């Protein structure tokens, strides 16, 4: 019971950090590009977790059997995480915080499909009405007459697919390699490399410009990339994917409120209805299967 309460606390804290981090992500690209921002935040996240890794898990990991399958899974989740973050940054260039965050939490609806595709887990009937509701909510949330906003929303939608794969394969990795700090630190370090080299090709990576965004990078790097990704893994240790996904979905509502308060990104009535529909569908798709099992 204590372990479940601990995981619940970790998941709730993760949702709050991720939700508020959208504001910092939106504000942190005045002088640098999305890939540069992502690489910087992930490397800072790695540096944040490195002392914890060396102190708590390094000796245990050395004694464990880290086979090729574990290494492959770590590389895969690192790729998913790095480009999930990158697509979030690109989406924020074209649409507002609320849209990006709410489309991102569609990963909760995609998770059952990913589980079915790779592990033949049955898709519960509740997913289908939720998909329709999410599509309706997305229609209300998107400004159909604004091509730029539609582009940003589409990027955020693709980003949700990457996060769905990330959640499923994190759970699978934990069954084979139960070292949360090592996983969190490794994916941050490898993810920073995955995004650094494309940034060199497609963006102007200038150290002085990165320092101009130091406040946003510090917040997102230390809290969202470092501690929050670690807390995510702790949350998934003792809670089922469906239960923890409900809690993670709160990041969408938190981000929308934070964007409204801090960035004055006012939401009209139609967008609010769209947000409510998507969040309701996400939570409903997770609660119904749990209730049936009980």
Question: In this model, does residue 214 exceed pLDDT 80?
Answer: yes
pLDDT single digits (tens) 17-42 = 998 999 999 999 999 999 999 999 99
**Angstrom distance (rounded) from CA 77 to CA 86:** 14
What average pLDDT does the chain have?
Answer: 86
Question: In this model, does residue 112 exceed pLDDT 90?
Answer: no
pTM to 2 decimals?
A: 0.87
pLDDT single digits (tens) 143-187 = 766 777 788 889 998 999 999 899 889 988 988 898 999 999 999
Question: In this model, does residue 290 exceed pLDDT 80?
Answer: no
* Helix ranges, the chain (H): 2-27, 34-52, 58-63, 68-94, 97-104, 107-119, 127-141, 147-176, 180-202, 207-212, 214-218, 229-238, 241-248, 250-263, 269-293
pLDDT tier at 294, thresholds 50, 70, 90:
low
| Percent of the chain whose predicted confidence (pLDDT) is above 90 | 44
User: Contact at 8 Å (CB) between 195 and 83?
Assistant: yes
pLDDT tier at 254, thresholds 50, 70, 90:
confident
Residue found under tokens 């609806």? 109
């Amino acid at each position: 019971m204590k372990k479940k309460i601990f995981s619940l606390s970790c998941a709730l804290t993760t949702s709050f950090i991720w939700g508020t981090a959208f504001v910092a992500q939106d504000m942190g690209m005045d002088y640098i590009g999305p890939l540069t921002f992502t690489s910087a935040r992930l490397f800072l996240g790695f540096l944040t977790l490195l002392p914890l890794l060396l102190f708590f898990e390094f000796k245990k990991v050395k004694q464990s059997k880290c086979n090729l399958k574990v290494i492959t899974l770590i590389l895969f989740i690192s790729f998913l995480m790095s480009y999930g973050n990158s697509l979030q940054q690109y989406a924020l260039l074209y649409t507002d915080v609320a849209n990006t965050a709410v489309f991102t939490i569609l990963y909760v609806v995609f998770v059952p499909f990913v589980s079915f595709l790779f592990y033949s887990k049955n898709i519960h009937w509740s997913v289908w009405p939720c998909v329709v509701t999410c599509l309706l909510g997305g229609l209300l949330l998107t400004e159909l007459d604004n091509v730029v906003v539609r582009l940003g929303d589409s990027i955020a939608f693709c980003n949700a697919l990457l996060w769905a794969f990330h959640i499923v394969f994190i759970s699978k990795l934990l069954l084979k390699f139960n070292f949360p700090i090592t996983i969190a630190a490794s994916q941050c370090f490898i993810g920073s490399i995955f995004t650094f080299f494309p940034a060199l090709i497609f963006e102007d990576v200038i150290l002085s410009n990165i320092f101009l965004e130091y406040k946003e990078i510090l917040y997102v790097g230390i809290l969202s990339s470092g501690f929050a990704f670690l807390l995510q893994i702790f949350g998934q240790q003792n809670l089922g994917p469906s239960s923890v996904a409900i809690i993670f979905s709160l990041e969408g509502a938190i981000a929308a409120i934070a964007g409204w308060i801090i960035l004055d990104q006012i939401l009209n009535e139609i967008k609010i209805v769209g947000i409510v529909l998507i969040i309701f569908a996400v939570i409903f798709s997770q609660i119904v299967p749990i209730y049936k099992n009980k």
